[in-house]
Structure formats: structure tokens, C-alpha cells
Amino acid sequence: MSRDEPERVAAFEARQAAIIARTLSWADEAAARGDYVKAVHWVETVRGLGLDLSEDYEAKQAVWLNAIDPDRRPGA
């Protein structure tokens, strides 16, 4: 491992965190407009990267999915 490797890893992780934060802010913005389909899309984009969602976004996604389809079964 080169001496600058930890710095590159830290820079990558910082960029990744910023991208995730921005993507989740797009989810929040979409939900604020009442566009729950788009909000769920943005959350699923983060999940598609293989990342776990915070409990907050798990709960938000459940609310948004319920707004899209109130008859949907939890966990479906």
C-alpha cells in the first residue's frame, strides 16, 4: 500500500458520502412535492449501490410506499 493510499481512500469515501447525501436529499425533495414514486426511486438508487439505509430512510420509504399504494402489504 502506498503512503497516499489512506488519503485516496478517505477522499473516495468523502465523495461517496456526499453523493449518497445528495441522492437522499433528492428523495426528500421529491416527497415534499408529493412525488412519492420519485422519492422511492432515489432511495432505491442508494440501496442499489449495495448500501444500507438508515432507520430514518427505511421509515420514510415505508411511508412513501404507503402513500403510493395504501393497500400494499408491509414488506411486499
Burial class (CB in 10 A: 0-12, 13-18, 19+), 64: buried
Q: Identify the residue with better confidence: 32 or 51.
A: 32
pLDDT at 14: 92
Asked whether the predicted pLDDT for residue 76 surpasses 70, the reply is: no
pLDDT at 51: 85
Predicted confidence (pLDDT) per residue in 3-45, tens digit = 778 888 899 889 989 999 999 999 999 999 999 999 999 999 9
pLDDT at 43: 97
